[in-house]
Each structure stands twice: as structure tokens, then as C-alpha cells.
Amino acid sequence: MKAHMDRRNHQRRPAGFQVRVTELAVPELSASGQAIDISESGIGVYLPLPFTPGSPVRLNINDSVLFGFIAYSTPERSFFRTGIEVVQVLVGNSDIAQLLKTALEERMPNVQLEYSNLG
């Protein structure tokens, strides 16, 4: 049950914000959930449905958009603990986006942050 924990490459830090995850190849596959942690390589979220590992996804967090790939999706209690490797971030203009930007700069120093006018 904890197999994904054995593969950690980076220390995880707690997170607590709402996200919407959408599979890019199948946009109908979309779910809202709770981000639970951030590491240098990605974000862990609890989602109500499974996503296929390797699938490219978009994460909407307020007026910011992150793109990445599903690393794993494992049943845990009544949710699926899902790891998402983040490869690109478009930071919005809201106050929440600025908090997200600060958190990502601290925890994902190798991910390129870009600025958008999505808000």
C-alpha cells in the first residue's frame, strides 16, 4: 500500500489548496481535489478518481495553470493519492497565485515559472 513512498526522490512539504486535474488527451476525465504536499519534482493530491500513470495533465489552481504527468495513482481511504510530476507553470495574478509562486520557487527550484493573464 505504501509502495509509492519508497520511491521518493525529494522531501515533501505539506500543502493545502484546491486543485482541478484534467487529463489532456481525454478532457472529459477531470476531477477536483486537495493538494496535500509539494516536493521538488511535483505535487501530491487526493482525487476522487484514478488517473493513468504517464498521462499528461493540466492542474488548475485558482488562476494559475500547471502542466505535468501522472507519476502514480494509488487508492488510499476513499480517494486516490495521485502524484503529479510538474513540468511547466503559468502563474496567474491573484493573491493566491503569488502565494503559490512563492511555494513553488522554494520547493521546485528547477521548474520554469511563466506568467500569464489568465485571471
**Per-residue three-class SS string for 31-93:** EEEEEEEECCCEEEEEECCCCCCCCEEEEEECCEEEEEEEEEEEEECCEEEEEEEEEEEEECC
| Average pLDDT score over residue span 16-22 | 92
Pick the CATH number of 11-115 from 3.30.365.10, 3.40.50.360, 1.10.10.10, 2.40.10.220: 2.40.10.220
3-state SS, residue 94: coil
State the pTM of this model. 0.82
Domain ranges of the chain: 11-115
The model's pLDDT over 3-15, given as tens digits with 9 standing for 90+, comes to 444 454 556 665 7
